[in-house]
């Protein structure tokens, strides 16, 4: 247990799509005073994300899809469409099994070898989710379907193949604003994957 926490109470606020809990607890500050705090924690499950790259063509595969939270963000202008790397919830699978399945569903590429590069909590102040980050090399012969996402998940995904250079410029222009995508594109750039 954490010696800085005591008297943790949990109240379920919502279990509609995922789970939202309210936690009340006491936290031991540096001045040795116990402070009462409350936090809401959203649990949508852990996830995996992958950047598919082709070294010969110097390209990457990205996806484009509608995101309601982005559309609802009043500081964002636009239609809620986001350019992202392929990603999905683990749903009981290992991260590696999940990301291979998601790559096929979303992009149409069957990737046999993936490399895990790191893990990250993307919004640790409110969301429990840990994301497992992968890269995987693709060739044209790996394309075995059109992709676009799973019908039962109501995904309407557009598959994009762009140069790494163009993808990096999209980050700089603000066309790519997704954190996991930016992290994997920068990883590819730093590691000279493409």
Q: How confident is the model at residue 193, as a pLDDT? A: 92
In a 3-state reduction of DSSP, which class is residue 151?
helix
Model pTM score: 0.92
Q: How confident is the model at residue 1, as a pLDDT? A: 67
Q: What's the CA gap between 64 and 160, in Å, rounded? A: 7
User: Could you read off the pLDDT tens digit of each residue along the chain, which spans 194 residues?
Assistant: 689 999 999 999 999 989 999 999 999 999 999 999 999 999 999 999 999 999 999 999 999 999 989 998 877 667 899 999 999 999 999 999 999 999 999 999 999 999 999 999 999 999 999 999 999 999 999 999 888 776 666 678 999 999 999 999 999 999 999 999 999 999 999 999 98
With a CB cutoff of 8 Å and minimum separation 6, the contacts of 131 are: 46, 47, 48, 49, 87, 119, 120, 121, 122, 180
Name the CATH superfamily, with its identifier, for domain 47-190: Nucleoside Triphosphate Pyrophosphohydrolase (3.90.79.10)
Q: How confident is the model at residue 77, as a pLDDT? A: 62
Q: Strand 47-54 and strand 130-137: pairing?
A: parallel
């Amino acid at each position: 247990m954490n010696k800085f926490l005591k008297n943790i109470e949990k109240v379920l606020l919502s279990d509609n799509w995922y789970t939202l809990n309210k936690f009340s607890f006491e936290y031991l500050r540096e001045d040795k005073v116990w402070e009462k705090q409350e936090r809401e924690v959203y649990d949508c499950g852990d996830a995996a994300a992958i950047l598919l790259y082709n070294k010969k063509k110097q390209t990457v595969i990205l996806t484009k899809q509608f995101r309601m939270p982005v559309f609802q963000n009043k500081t964002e202008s636009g239609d809620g469409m986001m350019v992202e790397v392929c990603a999905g919830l683990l749903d009981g699978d290992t991260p590696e099994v999940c990301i291979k399945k998601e790559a096929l569903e979303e992009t149409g590429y069957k990737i046999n070898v993936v490399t895990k590069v790191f893990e990250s909590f993307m919004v640790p102040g409110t969301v429990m989710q840990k994301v497992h980050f992968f890269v995987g090399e693709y060739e044209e012969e790996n394309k075995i379907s059109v992709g676009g996402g799973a019908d039962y998940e109501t995904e309407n995904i557009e598959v994009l193949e762009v140069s790494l250079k163009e993808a990096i410029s999209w980050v700089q222009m603000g066309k790519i604003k997704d954190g996991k995508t930016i992290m994997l594109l920068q990883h590819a750039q730093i590691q000279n994957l493409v």
